[in-house]
Structure 1
Amino acid sequence: MPITNKENSSTKPHVIVLAFPFSSHPASLHTLVRKLAAAAPDVTFSFFSTAKSNGLIFGSEDNGLDNLKAYNVTDGVPPNYVFTGRPEAFIELFMKATLGNFKRAIDGVVEEKKITCVMSDTFLWFAGEMAEEMKVPWVPLWIAGQFSLSAHFYTDLIRRMIGTGPDATAGREDEPLNFIPGMSRFRIRDLQEGIVFGDVDSPFSNMLHRMGQMLPRAAAVAINSVEELNPTITDDLKKKFQNCLNVGPFSFMSALPSDPDVNGCLSWLDGQKAASVAYIGFGTVFSPPPQEQVALAEALETRGVPFLWSLKENLKGILPDGFLERTKGRGKVVSWAPQVQVLAHTAVGVFVTHCGWNSVLESVMGRVPMICRPIMADNRLNGRMVTEVWEIGVGMEGGVITIDGMMRGLDLILSEEKGKKMRGNIGALHELMGKAVGAQGSSSENFKILLESL
């Protein structure tokens, strides 16, 4: 049964927000919606995500926003479900439950007040069709960089030019994507899985393909980035979308709430020398294989580099025998770290990262060069920008962590002249991003346009 907009006496604008409840997606969408809600107190925002996701991202800071309220949708996980260990399993179950779960949750809210706009994560392309049914604008948010969005938008062209599958890409991995505006510095191997390699027919790949096709129908597409980072891509997407609005980076928004330092990371960093500590964090979903994390541990121990390592509790058993005891005092391994505050600390000199977009932005915010070990999705594109375009980090040869490769990276960034040059480059990038979110900056001006579109 399609959602329809029910008329009532209320004339107050009402925006429903649909989140993709995994990784950093809901938190990024929530950050933007909070800023919109604070700027538009007469607009009601109803935020739909799973109970687990809402429980993690909605906190005390939302109590001051009477016009922002969370609503739960079912996650699709059957009763007594036994987790097999595949992180993708929960995403697949959620996708099977969608979009029925959103429609059921929204239906009760629609009874109360008329919907005037649909916002969503770009992944949820069907939100565009919902908005069209209700005859209201659709405003999706892309939480990553312009170049990764461009790759999804041009999926059909990429497949025509390259083909799909191992036979099409073998021996061509280093060919540049110079047939896409602004993408000539990227190679075929940097593309996200599901475009030309990997399972191009999986439900997830099909979702992203459909997303790229739907975005021109959006009233506006918001991006968690800065126009000036990729002017050629920005100009191209402005021609393809009705309104292409870079409104980030969210990491630079001063109103972001601080995460509690439950594991004492910041006080530990207070006792370390300036720009001496390696911070290691590979995100919340996937991690490098155990043998690579062992190599990383051995490189840290061999070089004697102080380190703060955010490592899930269930992965601590993969560390070399006696590693924690031998490095006690100059190393700290925690199950979770307040990453934004850690990277902003003067003691941190290098960030070993999977190159998720938020992690890259947070590293730039803290002016910390990176050692890149991309894992999935847009990580390789982001890593390519970090190492080859912006020159604010180094990669691992063959994309794999080895003891020698990690030691070379640590030496280069922490001790050598090239590391100083990277700090200069990252400082310039920091200034560019800070200017964009400042008064009259491009992101601030785009935010005003976004606010008007609601």
Structure 2
Amino acid sequence: MATLSPEPHVAVLTFPFASHPALLFGFVKRLAEAAPRVKFTFFCTAEFNRSLFSKTSTTSTSNIVPHDIHDGVAENYVFVGKPMEDINLFLAIAADELRRGVEEVTLNSDRKITCILADAFLWFSCDLAQEIGVPWVPFWTAGACSLSIQIYTDLIRQTLGVEGNEGRMNEKLNFIPGFLGFRIGDLPAGIIFGNLEWPFFVMLYKMGEELVRADALVISSFEELDPDLIKNLKSKFKQVFSICPISLESPPQSSVSDEYGCLPWLEKHHPKSVAYIGFGTRAKLPENEIVALAEALEASATPFLWSMKDDLKKYLPSGFLERTRELGKIVAWAPQVQVLSHPATGVFITHSGWGSVMESIAAGVPLICRPFLGDQSLNTWMIENVYKIGVRIGGGMFTKEGAMDALQQVLLQEKGKMFSKQATAYKELAIEAVGPHGSSTQNFQRLLEMITA
């Protein structure tokens, strides 16, 4: 029997949807570069593994090894359009599939697994870690606000009930620490709204129950952004490591792909004048809202850079592209971190996904928010009422008048100056957090010590 290496080996378990794999992969790359003697096995679907590893130099991932897992979709399966159909298929096999993968890697590797670093959604990985006797470190890809709501799900359900709340959307929920004045309507689906028996919502509920078993919990934020929420979370967990914003440690601008020429285009514009528009990988703006936003941009003569898939351009108003050729630029993909960091960018029009929120905060750019799902409405509430760095689009969806009003508030009115000032203040805190003696840097070092022990 071959002798196993005593060097550490971390199993990285991903939730293979939306931006989750990329966020965890980016974080693991940082760990791998800081701890070259640690081996990381990255468990993800073949499609994501091909994409993530092909975009990265082999030198920066030499101690990260991909291991493909099944996505739960049977051969010849025909999707019928059910909500979260792909996610629910994966969840049906996830626990067994990841267990099989870990067992296979353990059998064939020259090192035993010494730690499990998992997307926090995969709550069942705590049992696997316990069985093999290693630390369980869940990674929460969102902020302290949405995690806090998940942790207090039982209290919310006991206090409000799970039925008959549809008419109470504007009532205030004041019994959760850190959420004074929070609207019931801004609770994520799966807490008291929606089909609570959906596998995805069951997963979130179980996660809220099981996370207390974590040896350490990693949050994609920085302590100075939500000090009261972080303090409360620390009272409930063994260790909480807020480690962000990663975007402040991005590669130099010269090494970033900009195939559509976004950055040179921005160079032609005045500081804080451009509206950057991007709705992430999963959110899709309805046809009528694409029209309304386009009309607002044109009518207000707001310079814009819009990241939009080619198949959505057909919904733009007739003649819009020709009329706004000098005013704006529409691209299939934009280097978002660099666009937000450019002096010409004055506002980010977004779905309020946490990754986008953190990138905007790190760049000091105010936001106009149009939330769709998940934690996005909650994040929007924080942006408006706690951070005070942006606005929710009036009525919750784009109309021409509502979009024009929001653009005017952020780019032209005195309120916009306050947003910009506050956003800059958070940017400075974020820079300090990832500095040599900052809170995120110290938390990162503590986590490194834990996984290399």
TM-score, normalization by structure 2: 0.94
Query: Which residue number corresponds to residue 226 of structure 1?
Result: 222
**Which residue among 443, 447, 452 is the counterpart of 1:450?**
447
Summarize the alignment of residues 290-305 of structure 1 with structure 2, pairs less than 5 Å apart. 290-305=287-302
More moved, 110-119 vs 87-96: 87-96
**Which residue among 317, 331, 335 is the counterpart of 1:334?**
331
Query: Which residue number corresponds to residue 355 of structure 1?
Result: 352
Instruction: Tell me the SS of whatever aligns to 1:132.
Output: helix
Is this contact kept in 1: 2:245–2:362, CA < 8 A?
A: no
Summarize the alignment of residues 186-197 of structure 1 with structure 2, pairs less than 5 Å apart. 186-197=182-193
Query: Which residue number corresponds to residue 92 of structure 1?
Result: 88
**Which residue among 107, 114, 117 is the counterpart of 2:115?**
117
Q: Distance in 2 between matches of 1:187 and 1:62?
A: 47
Q: Distance in 2 between matches of 1:36 and 1:362?
A: 20
2:258 matches 1:261: yes
Structure 1 position 388, deviation (Å)? 1.6
> How many aligned positions are there?
447
Structure 1's 176 and 262: CA in aligned 2 closer, same or farther, altered over 3 A?
A: same
More moved, 96-105 vs 37-46: 96-105
Summarize the alignment of residues 62-101 of structure 1 with structure 2, pairs less than 5 Å apart. 62-84=58-80, 88-101=84-97
Structure 1 position 47, deviation (Å)? 0.8
Structure 1 position 41, deviation (Å)? 1.6
Is this contact kept in 2: 1:220–1:453, CA < 8 A?
A: no
Can you give the 5+ residue segments of structure 1 that lack an aligned partner in the other structure? 1-5
Query: Which residue number corresponds to residue 208 of structure 1?
Result: 204
More moved, 178-187 vs 222-231: 178-187
Instruction: Tell me the SS of whatever aligns to 1:346.
Output: coil
Structure 1's 259 and 122: CA in aligned 2 closer, same or farther, altered over 3 A?
A: farther
Query: Which residue number corresponds to residue 106 of structure 1?
Result: 102
2:154 matches 1:156: yes
2:32 matches 1:37: yes
2:57 matches 1:56: no
Give the AA of the match of 2:275.
A
Give the AA of the match of 1:171.
G
Instruction: Tell me the SS of whatever aligns to 1:99.
Output: helix
Q: Distance in 2 between matches of 1:28 and 1:178?
A: 32
Q: Distance in 1 between matches of 2:2 and 2:87?
A: 35
2:362 matches 1:365: yes
Q: Distance in 2 between matches of 1:450 and 1:134?
A: 20
Q: Distance in 2 between matches of 1:304 and 1:78?
A: 50
Q: Distance in 1 between matches of 2:82 and 2:218?
A: 31
Q: Distance in 1 between matches of 2:63 and 2:252?
A: 18
Instruction: Tell me the SS of whatever aligns to 2:356.
Output: helix
Give the AA of the match of 2:142.
A
Is this contact kept in 1: 2:173–2:182, CA < 8 A?
A: yes
Instruction: Tell me the SS of whatever aligns to 1:229.
Output: coil
Give the AA of the match of 2:45.
T
Is this contact kept in 1: 2:291–2:315, CA < 8 A?
A: yes
Summarize the alignment of residues 127-166 of structure 1 with structure 2, pairs less than 5 Å apart. 127-165=125-163
Q: Distance in 2 between matches of 1:7 and 1:244?
A: 38
Q: Distance in 1 between matches of 2:375 and 2:358?
A: 14
Q: Distance in 2 between matches of 1:326 and 1:332?
A: 12
Instruction: Tell me the SS of whatever aligns to 2:74.
Output: coil
2:342 matches 1:345: yes
Structure 1's 255 and 220: CA in aligned 2 closer, same or farther, altered over 3 A?
A: farther
Query: Which residue number corresponds to residue 27 of structure 1?
Result: 22
Structure 1 position 181, deviation (Å)? 1.3
Identity across the alignment (%): 49
Is this contact kept in 1: 2:10–2:116, CA < 8 A?
A: yes
Q: Distance in 1 between matches of 2:220 and 2:445?
A: 15
> Which portions of structure 1, spanning 4 or more consecutive aligned residues, are displaced by more than 6 angstroms?
none
Give the AA of the match of 1:373.
R
Q: Distance in 2 between matches of 1:288 and 1:390?
A: 25
Q: Distance in 2 between matches of 1:428 and 1:256?
A: 23
Structure 1 position 259, deviation (Å)? 4.3
Instruction: Tell me the SS of whatever aligns to 2:149.
Output: helix
Give the AA of the match of 2:90.
F
Give the AA of the match of 1:346.
P
Structure 1 position 256, deviation (Å)? 8.5
Structure 1 position 92, deviation (Å)? 2.1
